[in-house]
Amino acid sequence: MKIAGIICELNPAHNGHKYIFEQARKVTGADYVVAVMSGDYVQRGEPALVDKHTRTKMALCLGADAVFELPTMWATGSAQYFARGAVSLLSAIGASTIVFGSECGDIDLLSSLEFTTPNDVLGSEYIKAIKHLSLDIKPYAITRIGTGYNDSSTISGSICSASYIREHLSGAGIDSLAAVMPDDVRLLLRGEILNSRTVSPDDISSQLYYKLNQESTNGFDQYFDVYSDLSDKLIKNLNQFTTVTEFAHVIKSKDIAFSHIKRAFLHILLGITNDDVNAAISRDYLTYIRLLGFKKSPSILSEIKKTSTAPIISKLADAHNILDDFEMQVLTQDIASSHLYSMLSKGLVISEYSRPIIIQ
């Protein structure tokens, strides 16, 4: 059995993502393609547009045979942490190849040069992660087609960026994006929009302000990505807080990148500490493996369970029986984070324990 892995956010999914999934099966000759996907929060340091369960359905529509959750500490980490957490998880479930979109599309160049374009930065980090963790995984770079990763203003044929879609959802609306999204994916997103369930970066503003005020006397440098100088700056400027985005601009300087600040905010809000991250690193970045969805026929689940080097959580209520104390701590933290997301998107907590695995 040959498994190809794709690491993704799908925030939201579009035709460019579909192309990568199609190419993954084609170039690797894999029997199965699996997705390791960010949960309810993404690497930009923001809540995802729609929840991980909706985006799991999108991944299955794109061609994934199974979807696994990337724990929040890695999903909201810098490119290095994001890559190492995701590649470690792919290895544990038996993936022998990883496929990713790239501006340059050249594995040799990605292995030897420094890049600034987002997909090439991540691609380079995936390759470094494989080497750092001494994993037997072969990387494949698929040359990205269409517009750039962060291009929020243009469409190239039937391809645009996720940034473009997020930017235009509140304008012309989802139906105007029919040319750049698979129909089944667009209908999923349309359903969420009609139910007012999309989440914007500033929706966490009141919760973050409360947490910052609550802990300002002790400082924040125990949290992941918060260094002592950043902690001091947060405390000093807290009286200027209005929204997450505006406060990030207040804190931003030539020494502290905007994206770093947004990720630090999330780690404070969600309670992700340096101790948590260091403990996970000591385990080669593997915390837990949670299955979010899979295709029923042909069933991949039984095949993956045969080769996985770590237990797979297919029923959340059983997690305490198969995880150790630290793994359970990380999972519980992520469940609480998803419950916060549920409050933001739906106005009430929908328990993760009541969420069934999505089977297509």
Q: What is the pLDDT along the chain (360 residues), one digit of tens a residue?
A: 899 999 999 999 999 999 999 999 999 999 999 999 999 999 999 999 999 999 999 999 999 999 999 999 999 999 999 999 999 999 999 999 999 999 999 999 999 888 888 899 999 999 999 999 999 999 999 998 755 545 444 556 688 889 889 888 865 578 888 999 999 999 999 888 877 678 999 999 999 999 999 999 999 999 999 999 999 999 999 999 999 999 999 999 998 999 999 999 999 999 999 999 999 999 999 999 999 999 987 778 888 988 899 999 999 999 999 999 999 999 999 999 999 999 999 999 999 999 999 999
- Residue tagged 């302000």 (tokens): 209
Domain positions in the chain: 3-150+284-359, 201-278
| Residue 251 contacts residue 233 (beta carbons within 8 Å) | yes
CA distance 9 to 190: 18
Predicted confidence at residue 40, as pLDDT, reads: 98
Predicted confidence at residue 146, as pLDDT, reads: 59
Nearest to 339 by CA among 24, 14, 347: 347
E strand or H helix that includes residue 27: helix 15-28
Give the N- to C-terminal CA distance of the chain in Å, as an integer.
Answer: 21
| Residue 42 contacts residue 77 (beta carbons within 8 Å) | no
- What architecture (CATH level 2) is domain 3-150+284-359? 3-Layer(aba) Sandwich (3.40)
- Residue tagged 């190419």 (tokens): 23
Predicted confidence at residue 151, as pLDDT, reads: 47
CA distance 164 to 177: 10
| Residue 155 contacts residue 134 (beta carbons within 8 Å) | no
How far is Cα of residue 272 from the mean position of the Cα atoms in its chain? Answer: 15
Predicted confidence at residue 161, as pLDDT, reads: 87
Task: Give the tokens for residue 358.
Answer: 């999505």
Cβ partners under 8 Å of residue 247, min gap 6 = 237, 240, 241, 265
Q: Kindly report the backbone phi and psi dihedral angles of residue 166, in degrees, each rounded to the nearest multiple of 5, phi listed first.
A: -60, -40
